[in-house]
Structure 1
Amino acid sequence: MSEHIGAASDTLTIEGLSGGYDRFDVIHDIAFRVGAGEAVALLGPNGAGKTTVLRAIMGLLPRRRGRIEIEGSDIAGLPTRRIARGLVGLVPEGRRLFTGQSVEDNLRLGGMHVRRDTARTQELLQSVFDLFPVVERYRAREATALSGGEQQMVAIGRMMMSDPALMLLDEPSLGLAPLAIQDLTKALQRLRGQNRSILLVEQRVDMALEVCDRVYVLSEGRIVDEGRAADIGAEGRALIDAYLG
Structure 2
Amino acid sequence: MRSITAIGFDADDTLWQNEQFYRLTEEHFQKLLGDFAEGEHVSARLLEAEKRNLSYYGFGIKGFTLSMIETAIEITDGNVPTKTIGEILDIGRDLLRHPVETLPHVEETLRALNGEYLLVLITKGDLFDQERKLAQSGLGDYFDAVEIVSDKSATTYRRIFSKVADGPERAMMVGNSLKSDIVPAIAAGSYGVFVPHALTWVFEHVDAPIDAPRFRQIEHLGELAIVIEKIMAA
Higher helix share: 2
Greater RCO structure (CA 8 Å; 6+ sep): 1
Give the number of the structure whose alpha-carbon radius of gyration is greater: 2
With normalisation by structure 1, the TM-score equals 0.29
